[in-house]
């Protein structure tokens, strides 16, 4: 048996590194191709962009304000900037993407708003921690808390229930703070609990949602959804100034149509979640492999014995170990059962006796 071939990752190399290593969903791509023909008004003044906004209003059962931007960093940074003045602060998880992975963009676009890092349990904020940070200081020397930001699904792949969000929004609103949601994986969270999109957003008190498109299967693009329309005043200017207003807006908008049709976005997200559960079950069936946090959406966070981690890396499998040391494997709309099983088999190879002798 050729060990070199059997222990090589091949197409698994980048499959589980992130949910943005996958291509675009066929539904998103065909909507993109369909919108190519002919001439349409630019900068979002076209019929198709209006249709996508209306479709999102239907999906969310609410007359919300919708903007399309190129990526999640822009969606988060610009929406937080819209909610804050320079002397304000944003309460977020210590592991929040806005804090750890956006190169200071929220602080930059808000001209100095400070992020206050909250302690988390399994990646999630609690109302008690929000309360603690809100009441910690009220003097003029401390940046004034103005927003609570939650990530759904969380950076650790856990999901806030509608009740958990409602409790957080009550604590936030009672103190005069807005609730912002980084929904890079909102689709996975909705699919995970069979909720209605409204249940995990405005009905639970979310004021602004950055609705992830890229990771759920668009070629690119995120939507910023303001449920409180007062908060979106002049947001269009903010987007334009930040270089986030697409002139051929139809291409940013169209893929959403393909995904929102017949709930494709939720079906695809549900598939990603299922693949993650399959992977979690497979990996935890191996000696010494345990779940770091429960697998609730499309991410699997496991404590991997060093031997297994090294074995996978040596075979060429890319994965992150950035939060709490656990290994992170992400599934997407494109992940296939067979790939999951092959990854588990590859990991199991770490325990083969001939391998240990090497
Ligand atoms: C991927 C991701 C984003 C968006 O990142 P961009 O690279 O800026 O598109 C935002 N928040 C979270 C939690 C993410 O995982």
Domains and CATH numbers, the chain: 10-23+265-357 (3.90.1150.10), 26-263 (3.40.640.10)
Residue whose CB lies within 8 A of the most ligand 1 atoms, among 109, 149, 184, for a mutation test: 184
More confident residue, 4 or 103: 103
Atom of ligand 1 nearest to the CA of 102: 8
Stretch 255-262: mean pLDDT: 97
pLDDT for res 322? 73
| Burial (0-12, 13-18, 19+ Cβ within 10 Å), 275 | buried
H/E stretch holding 211 reads: strand 208-211
At residue 1 the predicted structure's pLDDT band, cuts being 50, 70 and 90, is very low
For the chain, give the mean pLDDT: 95
Stretch 318-336: mean pLDDT: 91
C-alpha 253/C-alpha 350 separation (Å) is 46
pLDDT > 70? residue 357 = no
C-alpha 290/C-alpha 301 separation (Å) is 9
- Percent pLDDT > 70 in the chain is 96
Stretch 289-308: mean pLDDT: 96
Atom of ligand 1 nearest to the CA of 74: 8
Q: Are 350 and 315 contacting, i.e. CB atoms less than 8 angstroms apart? A: no
Ligand 1: residue whose CA is nearest its atom 13: 97
pLDDT for res 8? 82
Q: How far is the CA of 72 from the centre of ligand 1 (A)?
A: 5
Q: How far is the CA of 312 from the centre of ligand 1 (A)?
A: 25
More confident residue, 354 or 58: 58
- Residue-wise pLDDT tens digits, 85-142: 999 999 999 999 999 999 999 999 999 999 999 999 999 999 999 999 999 999 999 9
pLDDT for res 354? 62
**Ligand 1 pocket, Cβ-based, cut-off 6 angstroms:** 71-73, 97, 151, 155, 182, 184, 214-215
pLDDT > 60? residue 50 = yes
Least confident of 53-62, 318-327, 329-338: 318-327
Residue whose CB lies within 8 A of the most ligand 1 atoms, among 69, 101, 123, 218, for a mutation test: 101
- Residue-wise pLDDT tens digits, 13-30: 999 999 999 999 999 999
Handedness of CA 327, 331, 337, 343 (dihedral sign): negative
At residue 5 the predicted structure's pLDDT band, cuts being 50, 70 and 90, is very low
pLDDT for res 141? 96
Ligand 1: residue whose CA is nearest its atom 1: 184
C-alpha separations of 66 from 119, 174, 240, 249, 357 in Å = 31, 26, 15, 13, 59
pTM over 0.85: yes
With tokens 């699904």, the residue in question is: 153
Stretch 329-355: mean pLDDT: 92
pLDDT > 90? residue 266 = yes
């Amino acid at each position: 048996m050729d060990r070199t071939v059997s222990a090589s990752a091949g197409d698994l190399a980048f499959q589980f590194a992130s949910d943005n290593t996958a291509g675009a969903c066929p539904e998103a791509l065909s909507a993109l191709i369909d919108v190519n023909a002919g001439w349409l008004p630019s900068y979002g003044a076209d019929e198709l962009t209006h249709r996508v906004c209306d479709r999102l209003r239907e999906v969310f059962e609410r007359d919300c304000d919708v903007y399309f931007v190129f990526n999640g960093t822009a969606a988060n940074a610009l929406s937080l900037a819209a909610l804050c003045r320079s002397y304000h602060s944003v309460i977020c998880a210590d592991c929040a993407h806005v804090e750890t992975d956006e190169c200071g963009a929220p602080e930059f676009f808000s001209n100095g708003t400070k992020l206050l890092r909250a302690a988390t349990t399994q990646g999630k904020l609690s109302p008690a921690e929000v309360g603690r940070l809100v009441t910690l200081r009220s003097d003029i020397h401390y940046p004034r808390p103005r927003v609570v930001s939650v990530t759904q699904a969380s950076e650790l792949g856990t999901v806030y229930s509608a009740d958990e969000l409602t409790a957080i929004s009550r604590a936030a609103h009672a103190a005069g703070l807005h609730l912002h949601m980084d929904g890079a994986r909102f689709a996975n969270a909705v699919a995970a609990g069979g909720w209605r999109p409204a249940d995990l957003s405005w009905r639970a008190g979310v004021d602004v949602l950055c609705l992830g498109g890229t990771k759920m299967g668009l070629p690119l693009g995120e939507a910023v959804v303001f449920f409180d329309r007062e908060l979106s005043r002049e947001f269009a200017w903010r987007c334009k100034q930040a270089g986030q207003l697409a002139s051929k807006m139809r291409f940013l908008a169209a893929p959403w149509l393909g995904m929102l049709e017949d709930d494709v976005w939720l079906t695809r997200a549900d598939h990603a979640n299922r693949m993650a559960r399959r992977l979690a079950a497979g990996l935890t069936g191996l000696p010494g492999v345990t779940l770091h946090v429960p697998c609730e959406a499309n991410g699997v966070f496991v404590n991997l014995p060093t031997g297994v981690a090294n074995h996978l890396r040596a075979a060429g499998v890319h994965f992150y170990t950035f939060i709490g040391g656990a290994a992170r494997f992400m599934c997407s709309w494109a992940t296939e059962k067979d790939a999951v099983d092959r990854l588990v088999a590859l990991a199991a190879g770490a325990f083969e006796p001939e391998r240990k002798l090497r």
